[in-house]
Structure 1
Amino acid sequence: MHHQLLAQGVTAKAPPAEATPNAGTPGGIDAVNTLPDAPDPTADVIDRIPVAKVLPDSKAPEMAVIESDNPQSLRGDVYFASGNVVLTYQDHILHADSIRYNRATGEVEFLGHAKLTGGQNDEYIEASRGTYNVRTGTGRFYDVHGSVGLEQRSARSAANGAAQPASTTGAIVGAPIGPASRTTYANSNPFLFEGKIVVKTGPTDYTVYEGSVTSCLMPKPDWQIFAKKITLDKGKAHAAGSTFKLLGIPLLFMPYVTHPVDAEERQSGLLIPELSFSRGSATAGSKGLTIGEQGYLTLGRSADMTIGLLYYSDRGFSENGTVRVRGQGNNFATGHFSALEDRGFHYQAATLSGQLITLYANQGGEDVTAAFRYDFTPKTRLVGDVEYLSSYVYREAFTENFNQAVSSDINSVVFVTQQTNGYALSARFDRYEGLKVVPTYRTAGQEVKIFHAPALDFDAIDRAIPGTPFKWNVATSIASMKRVQPNFVTAGMTERFDLRPELSLPMHFDGFNLNASIAARETVYSRSRQVPYGPNPANAVPIELMAPVNRADVEMKLDFRPPVIERDFKVPAKLQSLFGDEVRHTVESHLTYRDVKGVDNFLAILRFDDTDLVSDTNELEYGVTQHLYFKPHPKVAKLPPGCSASPLTKAVDDKDAEPAPREAQEDPDQQPSIDANGIPNPFSTAPDVPTRTHKRHAGPCDKPTAVAGQTEWFSWDLKQKIFFDQNFGGAVINSRRNIFETTLDLSGIAFLTEARNISPLISRMRFRTSGHTDIEYDFDYDTGASKFTSQNILLDVHESNLFGGVSYARLNAPGRFHSEVLNQTTNTATQILTTQISNFQQMRLLGGFGAPTRAGLSVAAGAGLDLNPPSGAGMTQYLTIQASYNWNCCGLSVEYRKYDLGNIRDEGTESFNFTLANIGSAGNMRRAQSLF
């Protein structure tokens, strides 16, 4: 209850109107028009209107300002004014053809073209007549169109900022005449209401009779909720017996509805149900009709929870839940759970003899994820990112994200760290789970699991030794580890102590830079591996020994960097529009010699992480990097008509500009995915087509105020290593993928299957001719085998509402590769073949027109292709086609999505999503699945 109001009483009669003065004075109310005393045509609803009773003021009233075209008069405490009257009181402004203002009570009676603006919730009310108390913020309005949550701005000159006069005659009511004001929309989808009568029962509370509410701009809103009585109080709108109309068509009767007036306010309740349908192949299973519902619960200002249930008509029930907590600073916690009690399905399969048999498949499982961060002090924090997945088949068959469906790794880590003055002390627990052989209904999968439980790390960055040019650093760790893989499990935990101090001497002369360093490393393991490995070392199963093993080495390193060579070129006048006035070419080169001695027992070390990959080496790395820069002409982007510059806008490529606010920097592609209701979709971590290198397309009014041209146009990095110790201290085993620390640092593609003296040539090339185009070409070329072991090509282009992308990946390198032999008749796996060469080609395509917020039609399509599919498998791994159409404040999106992941998943799904601005969405197509 407002502090100036007594308890409200309800009467069956309208309150008597005050006597209308009849002074006959020019400019008085009766000189223009007379407030009517006759019965009102809306008397049938008068008996439902509460009456506000004003308490006596406890302090002196604020001063008011009245402006009008006609002369004004004063009778006792009552002012009379007519002719474009403007009354200003604190942050409220009232416009009307004529008013009667009682300065003693603050009561205002107004008539004709009335408009009230201002207040703590930025209200905007237009009415034909009514009464209003400027002190209590209460009143009654007739024939109303209004809105709340909008911004009010003073009407000032755009040229010099001076106040624009709005009247020719002004009357002072305790203060000088102030500037006129006007209302401007600050939100493209505000919360608006209209009704025959609106009663304002408090500064932010309203009751609408015989009216409607919407979030769409008038006069032709896309949707409205109609009711005999709608209450707006405490930031929420309530109505009973309401009717929902879409594009003027009644669609739904709602016995009770509530919705926040503030679009950013969270409110507990049920979300709009989900409805979809999918069809699957006979061997992969169909989900059938999907019906789902979620409940949303706010847990205070900084926490909420979502709990949902899905029913697949062909499979069973699936539960899901999400908890989000936001703390001070960077502190946060999120958790998600999903599960499926799959009733399974039966399918026909052929045996090796050709006989058909009936098999049963179950794809149920659970997936639990959690992430959190807590800062104890500015230098000490606790961080965690963990996941438990009971079945890879469950995620592959039921996730809506292709990248997640084909992901074979699960990483979980929890650590606490303290960083002080260049020193870092950390304790961590982590678990790695990697799928090495994909399971099928007839064959089990194979996994590798590695645990650190726990690991203690201490690191110190380079620190100067006082009085000398030398620097020192140290890295040390103590870990307790375990490894589980097919046919091998370490017995209990293996302890490891690792210490590596380093001394370095940086030298600089005439632009040349040389860094010489020497380091000693001591690593002690509580257990070891039996050597020699056996008759077939390339495929020998490890044999664990209880005997400890000690590994020690000395490392010497010389890193030489000559001066950068550069030259500037004058661009011809006819090309300056593309490349600017000048182009600069730079060449950077480096030579690194590294010699590691002492690791004569590499084969006796059990493998847990990259610390265990240290080997002897005597090598030289050489490389060169080239850059092309151009100095562009400054360009200013013009905003479309009707759009105003926003403080959040920022030059896309202007690296020297001040950073935009946090809200503007957040990229939807990198942030947790949310649906139209504001609830995260934890199944998705990236779009299905990861060929995009630019942010999502902005809205029509989100273009930057300034666009700086691209500065780096081209870069090319080439490097290679020569190995003087071809056997790496006897660590190389022929016909096996040998991975050492030195090769892993150069390339992630394994290339050592025998002793060799030179590595593949590593190339990383990138073009970015403008802010609209990215081209990248990366390859590893094995000069010994005379072939490309890996190639990656990326093209990303966007211009206005048009965008497209192509990515190509080729791998032809040593590595275990598993493929299924399929029966051509039944399309079922009969056996699995294993090769020592990974050979595949994949391509992803994306193209479209439009943007998520663009009015009208938008279309997009994406596909993933396996250019070297296994026998009997299709080339298309997935296909997505989307189309959407946006009206004023609602939109409809439809999608067809096809997955072909072999026997585990082969289905087509039709999805839709209907969104109401500031309300939510209905359907099963989420924001994280958008191709735009």
Structure 2
Amino acid sequence: MRARNFWCTTLLLLCHPQLWSQALTKQFPPAGPASAQSANGPRVDAPAEAASASASIPDPADADPDDASVSSTIPEAHVVPPPPVGLPVKIEAVTQTSVKTDAGVVYTLLGNVVIHYKDYVISADRATYNQDTGDIVAQGNLRVDGGPDQAHLRASHGTMNPDAHIAHYYDVTGTLGQGRTSQVKAVTNFIPGVGAIAQSKPQLASSSPFAISGKEFIQTGEQSYHVIQGTMTSCSLPNPDWQLIARNFFLQNGVARGKSSVFELKGLPIVHKVPVFYMPYVTHAINGDSRQSGIEIPILGNDTTKGFIFGEEIYFVLGRSADLTVGAQYFSKRGFAPSAIFRLRGRGNDFATFRFQSLLDRLPGNENQGGVDMLFDGRHDFDTETRSVADIEYLSSYAYRQEFEDNYSVAINSEVKSQAFLAHSHQALAESIAFNRYQSFESSAGTVTGEQEITILHVPSLTFDGIDQYLEGTPLMWGVTASGSGLSRTEPGFQTSHVVPRLDVYPHLALPVHFYGWTFRPVVGLRDTFYGKSQNPGPLGIVPTERDATLNRKDFEAGLDFRPPALQRDFSTPWLEHLLGADVRHTLEPDVQYKYVTGINDFDSTLRFDSVDVASNTNELEYSLTQRLFLRHLRPHPCTGDEALGPDDTCAGETVNWLSWQVAQKYFFDDHFGGAITPRSRNVLDTTLDLTGVAFLARERAYSPVISRLRWQTTSSTNLEWDVDYDTKTGRLDSSNIFAAYKHGDYTFTFGDAHLHTLPGAEPASTATATPSGTTTPASTSTAAATETNFNQVRLSAIYGNSIKPGLSTGINAGYDFTLDKLQYGGVQANYNWNCCGLSFEVRRYSLGTVPEHTTYLYNFTLANVGSAGSLSWATRVF
């Protein structure tokens, strides 16, 4: 029974056709022109007494003039007088004789023999060539290069007819297919009809796309071969890291097939070679850029929550422009997880992608965390001015995402956004129709109340935008924004009608004035917003309710943007030149903006759907100062190493924005905002969102916090940003976000620290400002018992090497929550790449929200030009 189980397991795990789902199909070059061939091959009529050191048959009148020969390193030889007909053939040898027989004129060649025939180059120690039939018999150090299949073969001896693509070689090693020279392969997303989309992830690639060796190698036609007692691999010969061994391999139409083969690893530290798997049937693409439908390599892994993981996928090629992958994974502790991915690529920017993943959780009742996550992305351009775009996602359960999503950044995202729109733009006018759905999960399953969510719909929104443009014959500029929407909102304790109509129109005039570096831009406008429904405002602690009464909100808006000339000073001192290698220019750029809005006196009666509904009266002044340091390098040098990986002006001698620092604040002349402030609660208004995404209005106040935005970039490999919101009224930091990254050679380090202080009221300010409403929910806004909360989280990563670096690479990433005093996630990965295969191991630990802590052990084994087997996906890699 053990033997039977072994054979069954081996068959399920590794008896799979190798897939090529992420490469561009290439066609072999066409054969020579038929007009230059006779029924029996090329014919020449060289005289028998022509016994020179070399012979060459020139092109006939009807031969293809573009039929280029494969180059040879052997020096050029003398040319034999041309026959009246025949194909271009050049013969080189130390000594050469020819004899006319019944079978035709036969050349006998000895010493450094080289025969150029069509796009073949054939070399050997000695050979015979039949001028009439094209047959070649070669012995000793036989080498064959070129041909329609880009062959590079070495053999002890053999016979061939290059014109008929028939050959029989002995003791052969070599490669077929177009060779590569790099270890990094840019993977294409899928096969387009007119091109390919390149992904950012690299793939381990070998310089030999398909290498073979065998006791005998028989060519039976173009793209048709038979290897007897041989091997095949994607590693370079003669010492491959791995190979498949079989009695017979058949190579036809770009695909190699073998039966009863053994997968063998070679060059291991302890033993020279180890047979690993028996494979009853296996396929391998000869051309490394082709695709093939079939069964993919299985997925194996282990997780403390999922248990033992076994998965399988089937890949389908749906023509040149589309493919489909369907599969499922089995978690021994939870059940089956079906999944599917469909990809389509059209002309230009047109594309469509559909992803489906789910879990049929077998746990009972409240312990069940099964769910479905579906995502569709697509775009179609009707012409240069009209396009349609869709980005639609459906998530049935946030607990399912937290527990079973492999990507950490996706797992912690509690928002699900969907939109689809059709837009047309011409010159300065644009029209669009859009459908939007916003979903925010306030809690996950496992809580006392279960999953709670906010859902906001725009079904649909019609928008017209007129970009500011001059009125003919005047210095005035006009612009307009108009929209009509059907809206609805649902959340725990509050629900609007299925469709609430809203019309919003905002025409405005501006008069830009410029003189001697000074800029003034006054603007005036009227805004009219009509709502088909409104709400009954309630005091703090009472949830508002919808009412049938309409609401027509009118307001007058005026503003002024005033920008004085920038102040600048150049510094060119010896110590700066020695320290920075550049001249320095320091600039000061002040900016003052005034805004006045009046007429919005019914803020509490307005239903909340998006940022349009949080407009309020205001009388404010915003002032900011931006400092910049520009560098002009005095000793430019060519970009090399990490500098050459991306845009980097610091090595090219150009002037660069080396450091920028902006400080800004607002002063409110009307600290009540027309009665829009609810005391002891978090208030988000349109005017505060213009300054910062962090809510700071818990009561009336005249000054906003001071915001600071510092950005420093020395090279494309070094980056630092520090964003701070400091509240002068309370004397504390409302937020502080630091991000730093450094890369040098094989070393990469990143660090991030996020600190946030939330006001009492609804969800944290950062979450609320990310919603379409831009404000708190009516139910949570009225929660008087809410308290202030501090969040402080750190993210860091340290990496040596990368996924395709030869040898050892290691990496670690982690996220720690100081407020909860626990590790949110952590991952450690080690990777080792040989010449054409690699092995990766990773350990991940998650602790998210109500989801129990769990640890996952992942691995991945990669074969160059073939694919990978294991549970470590690109989404979960440390590097």
Structure 2 length normalisation: TM-score? Answer: 0.82
Within 1, Cα distance between the matches of 2:245 and 2:302?
Answer: 32
1:927 equivalent to 2:871? Answer no
1:291 equivalent to 2:291? Answer no
Q: CA deviation at 1:396?
A: 0.6
Give, as a single letter, the amino acid of the residue that structure 2 aligns with 1:268.
Answer: S
Within 2, Cα distance between the matches of 1:489 and 1:817?
Answer: 17
Number of equivalent positions:
760
Match of 1:67 among 75, 82, 92: 92
Please state whether the residue corresponding to 2:464 is helix, strand or coil: strand
Given that residues 406 and 875 in structure 2 are in contact (C-alpha distance below 8 angstroms), is that contact kept between their aligned partners in structure 1? no
Match of 1:337 among 356, 380, 384: 356
Q: Tell me the equivalent position of 1:134.
A: 162
Given that residues 28 and 72 in structure 1 are in contact (C-alpha distance below 8 angstroms), is that contact kept between their aligned partners in structure 2? no
Pairs within 5 Å for 1:198-597 = 198-247=217-266, 248-279=273-304, 286-344=305-363, 361-531=367-537, 533-534=538-539, 536=540, 539-572=541-574, 576=577, 579-597=580-598
1:103 equivalent to 2:122? Answer no
Within 2, Cα distance between the matches of 1:639 and 1:718?
Answer: 35
Given that residues 651 and 707 in structure 1 are in contact (C-alpha distance below 8 angstroms), is that contact kept between their aligned partners in structure 2? no
Given that residues 709 and 771 in structure 1 are in contact (C-alpha distance below 8 angstroms), is that contact kept between their aligned partners in structure 2? no
Give, as a single letter, the amino acid of the residue that structure 1 aligns with 2:457.
Answer: F
What is the RMSD of the two structures over their aligned residues, measured on CA atoms? 2.9
Q: CA deviation at 1:848?
A: 2.3
Please state whether the residue corresponding to 1:711 is helix, strand or coil: strand
Within 1, Cα distance between the matches of 2:832 and 2:652?
Answer: 29
Pairs within 5 Å for 1:727-766 = 727-766=672-711
1:842 equivalent to 2:793? Answer yes
Please state whether the residue corresponding to 1:738 is helix, strand or coil: coil
Within 2, Cα distance between the matches of 1:852 and 1:209?
Answer: 36
Give, as a single letter, the amino acid of the residue that structure 2 aligns with 1:83.
Answer: G
Within 2, Cα distance between the matches of 1:250 and 1:86?
Answer: 40
- When structure 1 is superposed on structure 2, of 602-611 and 118-127 the one drifting more is 118-127
1:725 equivalent to 2:753? Answer no
Within 2, Cα distance between the matches of 1:151 and 1:88?
Answer: 21
Q: CA deviation at 1:139?
A: 1.6
**C-alpha distance 199-436 of structure 1, shift in aligned 2 (>3 A):** same
Within 2, Cα distance between the matches of 1:413 and 1:864?
Answer: 31
1:917 equivalent to 2:864? Answer yes
Please state whether the residue corresponding to 1:743 is helix, strand or coil: helix
Q: Tell me the equivalent position of 1:877.
A: 824
Given that residues 367 and 446 in structure 2 are in contact (C-alpha distance below 8 angstroms), is that contact kept between their aligned partners in structure 1? no
Deviations 1:843-868 (A, max 9, x none): 11211211111111111111110101
**C-alpha distance 337-713 of structure 1, shift in aligned 2 (>3 A):** same
Q: Tell me the equivalent position of 2:646.
A: 652
Match of 2:150 among 117, 122, 125: 122
Q: Tell me the equivalent position of 2:118.
A: 90
Q: CA deviation at 1:302?
A: 1.1
**C-alpha distance 638-411 of structure 1, shift in aligned 2 (>3 A):** closer
Please state whether the residue corresponding to 2:788 is helix, strand or coil: strand
- When structure 1 is superposed on structure 2, of 706-715 and 507-516 the one drifting more is 706-715
Q: Tell me the equivalent position of 2:719.
A: 774
Q: CA deviation at 1:120?
A: 3.4
Q: CA deviation at 1:107?
A: 2.1
Q: Tell me the equivalent position of 1:143.
A: 171
Pairs within 5 Å for 1:3-22 = none
Deviations 1:609-638 (A, max 9, x none): 011111111111111111112123322356
Q: CA deviation at 1:397?
A: 0.6
Within 1, Cα distance between the matches of 2:649 and 2:99?
Answer: 63
Within 1, Cα distance between the matches of 2:739 and 2:732?
Answer: 20
Q: Which runs of 5+ in 2 are unaligned?
A: 1-27, 34-47, 56-83, 182-204, 267-272, 765-782
Within 1, Cα distance between the matches of 2:380 and 2:571?
Answer: 52
**C-alpha distance 833-360 of structure 1, shift in aligned 2 (>3 A):** farther
Q: CA deviation at 1:896?
A: 0.9
1:601 equivalent to 2:620? Answer no
Q: Tell me the equivalent position of 2:14.
A: none
Given that residues 140 and 156 in structure 2 are in contact (C-alpha distance below 8 angstroms), is that contact kept between their aligned partners in structure 1? yes
Give, as a single letter, the amino acid of the residue that structure 1 aligns with 2:698.
Answer: T
Give, as a single letter, the amino acid of the residue that structure 2 aligns with 1:759.
Answer: S
Within 2, Cα distance between the matches of 1:528 and 1:304?
Answer: 49
Given that residues 635 and 709 in structure 1 are in contact (C-alpha distance below 8 angstroms), is that contact kept between their aligned partners in structure 2? no
Given that residues 206 and 835 in structure 2 are in contact (C-alpha distance below 8 angstroms), is that contact kept between their aligned partners in structure 1? no
Within 2, Cα distance between the matches of 1:606 and 1:493?
Answer: 12
Given that residues 422 and 434 in structure 2 are in contact (C-alpha distance below 8 angstroms), is that contact kept between their aligned partners in structure 1? yes
Deviations 1:220-245 (A, max 9, x none): 11110111111222111111111111
Q: CA deviation at 1:915?
A: 0.7
Given that residues 649 and 655 in structure 2 are in contact (C-alpha distance below 8 angstroms), is that contact kept between their aligned partners in structure 1? no
Given that residues 680 and 784 in structure 2 are in contact (C-alpha distance below 8 angstroms), is that contact kept between their aligned partners in structure 1? no
Given that residues 409 and 435 in structure 1 are in contact (C-alpha distance below 8 angstroms), is that contact kept between their aligned partners in structure 2? yes
Give, as a single letter, the amino acid of the residue that structure 2 aligns with 1:748.
Answer: G
Given that residues 179 and 208 in structure 2 are in contact (C-alpha distance below 8 angstroms), is that contact kept between their aligned partners in structure 1? no
**C-alpha distance 599-294 of structure 1, shift in aligned 2 (>3 A):** same
Within 2, Cα distance between the matches of 1:767 and 1:479?
Answer: 42
Please state whether the residue corresponding to 2:409 is helix, strand or coil: helix
**C-alpha distance 710-127 of structure 1, shift in aligned 2 (>3 A):** farther
**C-alpha distance 60-651 of structure 1, shift in aligned 2 (>3 A):** farther
Please state whether the residue corresponding to 2:399 is helix, strand or coil: helix
Q: CA deviation at 1:152?
A: 10
Give, as a single letter, the amino acid of the residue that structure 1 aligns with 2:711.
Answer: R
Within 2, Cα distance between the matches of 1:122 and 1:141?
Answer: 16
Given that residues 61 and 135 in structure 1 are in contact (C-alpha distance below 8 angstroms), is that contact kept between their aligned partners in structure 2? no
Within 1, Cα distance between the matches of 2:443 and 2:426?
Answer: 44
Within 2, Cα distance between the matches of 1:789 and 1:150?
Answer: 59
**C-alpha distance 520-133 of structure 1, shift in aligned 2 (>3 A):** same
Within 1, Cα distance between the matches of 2:51 and 2:383?
Answer: 73
**C-alpha distance 187-732 of structure 1, shift in aligned 2 (>3 A):** same
**C-alpha distance 759-800 of structure 1, shift in aligned 2 (>3 A):** same
Q: Tell me the equivalent position of 2:269.
A: none
Q: CA deviation at 1:369?
A: 1.0
Structure 1 length normalisation: TM-score? Answer: 0.78
**C-alpha distance 772-650 of structure 1, shift in aligned 2 (>3 A):** closer
Report percent identity of matched pairs: 39
Q: Which runs of 5+ in 1 are unaligned?
A: 6-21, 30-58, 154-185, 280-285, 346-358, 641-648, 657-705, 820-831
Q: CA deviation at 1:277?
A: 1.2
Within 2, Cα distance between the matches of 1:24 and 1:750?
Answer: 96
1:895 equivalent to 2:842? Answer yes
Give, as a single letter, the amino acid of the residue that structure 2 aligns with 1:256.
Answer: Y
